[in-house]
Structure 1
Amino acid sequence: MTHDLPQPLIDAAALRRRLDAGRPTVLVDCSFDLADRDAGRRAHAEARLPGAQYLHLETDLSGPQHDAEGRFRGRHPLPDRASLAARLAAIGVAPGMAVVAYDRSGGPFAARAWWLLRWLGHAPVAVLDGGLAAWTAAGGAVEAGPAPVPAPATAWPPSPEPALPVIEADALQRALGRVTLVDARAAERWRGEVEPLDAVAGHIPGAQNRFYGLNLDGDGRFLPPQALRAAWQPLMQPGEPVVHQCGSGVTACHNLLAQAAAGLGDGVLYPGSWSEWSADPARPVARGQPCRQRGG
């Protein structure tokens, strides 16, 4: 289905024009704080784009941490696809409906929603560049109080197969050395100097480090496409898929969005990321700065 939504990013001025023109759009607030799981919901009640619905990282945009056999899948595994589609329908997302996601943290949680909708096969979705701060800076109105009750859409099935590629831990371990692997965590976590969230410090052998915050300018907006392209192309190897990971599969989506915004296509997500990988003592771990990173 064709649509008129700019992708993968929409700036605040363009979103205001879209809403003022009455173009149907579901706004989704994905604000979250890893240190306070209820902070995003509180912030949503205090100030949000008019009509925006709230999606919680852990209860809406992630699945159970353990599978049916009790195996740990990481801190923020992918949700069940049918359950996510039903949740989206409940907040008014119908097939072909434009969706704009935003947050208050430079885009990582909104990028997670952007990636998940596309994974379901829902194409018209974008991230509000700069989030709530950019919206208010552009003169956009906000509302507060109890969230509006959405008009639910008819339940819709996700695409029969995931529309974006993922790779699981065993397959990734077999592919090491034959894929370009990029870790979105802060450099000190990648080097293994600190690890505030997971039991083991370090990184997956062969992973390059590209902290997701480097995708943004000083105002919290994504760098222009040409600047993103200049930053990302040296990390890539001809003929190799680019696999993105982070701590738990969330900020990796920010790098996936940056790759798409740079015009470099879609990468592959390793959903379990370091939290899953490091929980298995049989998997290899690297620490420190290698003598030479691939790609320069």
Structure 2
Amino acid sequence: MYPALISVQTLFEHLDDPYWVVLDVRHNLLKPEEGQRLFEQGHIPGAQFADLDHDLSGPIIKGKTGRHPLPNPFVLAEKISTWGIGEGIQVVVYDAFGGAFAARAWWLLHWLGHPKVAVLEGGWPAWLEAGLPTTPIVQAKNRRPFVVRRLCTEMVAGIVDVWAAADEGRLLDARTFDRYCGENEIIDPVAGHIPGAISYPFINSFDSNKSDSVKYFKATPTLKKELQHYNHPVCYCGSGVTAAHLALSFVYAGFPMPQIYPGSWSEWITDPDRGVQTGPQP
């Protein structure tokens, strides 16, 4: 079982394995339709397209939810069935930005009690760099029953959990540092961060020395050393997407799965009484 990251070579060796399913989760927050378009132009053979907004998120309720609410688990399970995923299937998810979006699918499958899921390290750019085959042809999978045997609710942090984590110095903000400071908010209507939160951008998990074009993770010992200071962390971001990438980093480094505040910043700011902090300090 591959529970965190998997190499392009390993995936290539299993492309014809009927017990492996590949999900393409490419996305652009500012151009949501781009992922589907890129998938139709070319993808890993046999891959199924998972749309972040429509498949991996629930309906937005204005003034209450964030931008990517958790989907209804049973609606999601039905969608997962159509991708050919069922009990015992190894799932591999990828995108074009080091797993920033693919990690959402990875986390959701864990949430539904399916731990046999890994993020393709380096994603689509690594696959292309390795000269591996691509195709524009969509190959539908035979439906498999996906049963939610146990919903892992302990993975989800609520508002009370967020306040506690903030007070105890274990609430981590996965957004870029400028957005954390409130200096460059290009997506949400309010800038800043949750009071007490510590900035730990998800991009900190990448090794900038490995490649200019492909985003690879830092070596496990390095990442473990950087993350070991945070006990029982709660992760959040703008809408619960890159927070999952930070959770992936913890698991890859050998730590237990941290909690995620799914609504994240975009949900937090729907209630002005919750408070907003700007600047570089928690």
Fold conserved between structures, TM > 0.5? yes
* Equivalences for residues 228-243 of structure 1 within 5 A: 228-234=223-229, 236=230, 240-243=231-234
Superposed CA RMSD in Å reads 1.6
CA distance in 2, matches of 1:187, 1:262: 22
CA distance in 2, matches of 1:282, 1:166: 22
CA distance in 2, matches of 1:213, 1:171: 24
Aligned counterpart in structure 2 of residue 166 of structure 1, from 146, 149, 156: 156
CA distance in 2, matches of 1:131, 1:206: 33
Deviation at 1:7, TM superposition (A): 2.6
Q: 1:50, 1:142 within 8 Å by CA — same for their partners in 2?
A: yes
**Does residue 108 of structure 1 match 2:103?**
no
Percent identity, please. Answer: 39
Aligned counterpart in structure 1 of residue 269 of structure 2, from 266, 271, 278: 278
Q: Deviations over 1:124-155 (max 9, x none)?
A: 1000000011112223100014x22221112x
CA distance in 1, matches of 2:192, 2:147: 39
Q: 2:65, 2:270 within 8 Å by CA — same for their partners in 1?
A: no
- What code does the residue aligned with 1:26 have? V
* Equivalences for residues 164-203 of structure 1 within 5 A: 164-173=154-163, 176-178=166-168, 180-203=170-193
Q: 1:179, 1:241 within 8 Å by CA — same for their partners in 2?
A: no
- What code does the residue aligned with 2:47 have? A
Aligned counterpart in structure 2 of residue 15 of structure 1, from 11, 17, 21: 11
Q: 2:162, 2:171 within 8 Å by CA — same for their partners in 1?
A: no
Aligned equivalent of 2:250 = 259
- What code does the residue aligned with 2:8 have? A
List gaps (5 residues or longer) in structure 1: none
Q: Deviations over 1:191-246 (max 9, x none)?
A: 11121111111101111111111211233011111111122123x1xxx4200000
Give the match's secondary structure for 2:69: coil
* Equivalences for residues 89-104 of structure 1 within 5 A: 89-104=81-96
Aligned equivalent of 1:26 = 21
**Superposition TM-score, scaled by structure 2 size:** 0.93
Deviation at 1:177, TM superposition (A): 0.8
Give the match's secondary structure for 2:93: strand
Q: 1:118, 1:164 within 8 Å by CA — same for their partners in 2?
A: no
Deviation at 1:188, TM superposition (A): 0.6
**Superposition TM-score, scaled by structure 1 size:** 0.89
CA distance in 2, matches of 1:188, 1:94: 41
Aligned counterpart in structure 2 of residue 142 of structure 1, from 134, 137, 148: 134
Give the match's secondary structure for 1:282: helix
Aligned equivalent of 2:204 = 214
CA distance in 2, matches of 1:276, 1:223: 31
**Does residue 244 of structure 1 match 2:235?**
yes
List gaps (5 residues or longer) in structure 2: 209-213
CA distance in 2, matches of 1:35, 1:71: 21
Give the match's secondary structure for 2:203: helix
